[in-house]
Structure 1
Amino acid sequence: MSQTLKLAIDGMHCGSCVNRVTNALKKVEGVEVKQVDIGSAEVEFDETKTQPEQIAESVNRIGFNARQN
């Protein structure tokens, strides 16, 4: 079943940051990126393949601070 997750993301300042976050989210199995803007992201995810914590961690690993919004 698909769930929606909204993330608040600190540390994003430009279009390059948006691209980096988008690419990191796309690499998470079961995630479909809906929208990424400076400071936020919205994705749909398959809860049988990943969880919100894993999705946020994929963003944190590239140097940003993501948390559920």
Structure 2
Amino acid sequence: MTTLRIENMHCAACIRRVTQALNSLPNTTVEEVQLGAARIETQATPDQIQAAMQKTGFPTHIES
């Protein structure tokens, strides 16, 4: 399980954008996305995760 801390999220549209970006990653299951955080099961590399999240415009920190 990978936990992401995501900055600047404030609404349902933000959650939808993040969820779509995470679902675009190969071999990824999005467990939960909420304001400021997400939990995913993935085989994607940290670089792939960061690249997908960079497209959303939300700074993201990978915790585990």
Same fold per superposition (TM over 0.5)? yes
Higher strand share: 1
Amino acid at match of 1:55: I
Match of 1:12 in 2: 9
Match of 2:46 in 1: 52
Per the TM alignment, residue 53 of structure 1 is displaced from its structure 2 partner at its CA by: 2.5
> What is the 5 A alignment of 1:1-69?
4-46=1-43, 50-69=44-63
Coordinate RMSD, CA, aligned: 1.0
Find the structure with the greater CA-based Rg. 1
Higher helix share: 2
Amino acid at match of 1:58: A
* Equivalent residue pairs, number: 63
Unaligned runs of 5+ residues in structure 1 are none
Mean Cα displacement is larger for which, 51-60 or 33-42? 51-60
Amino acid at match of 1:14: C
TM-score, normalising length: structure 1:
0.83
Q: Hey, which bits of structure 1, 4+ residues long, moved more than 3 A?
A: none
Unaligned runs of 5+ residues in structure 2 are none
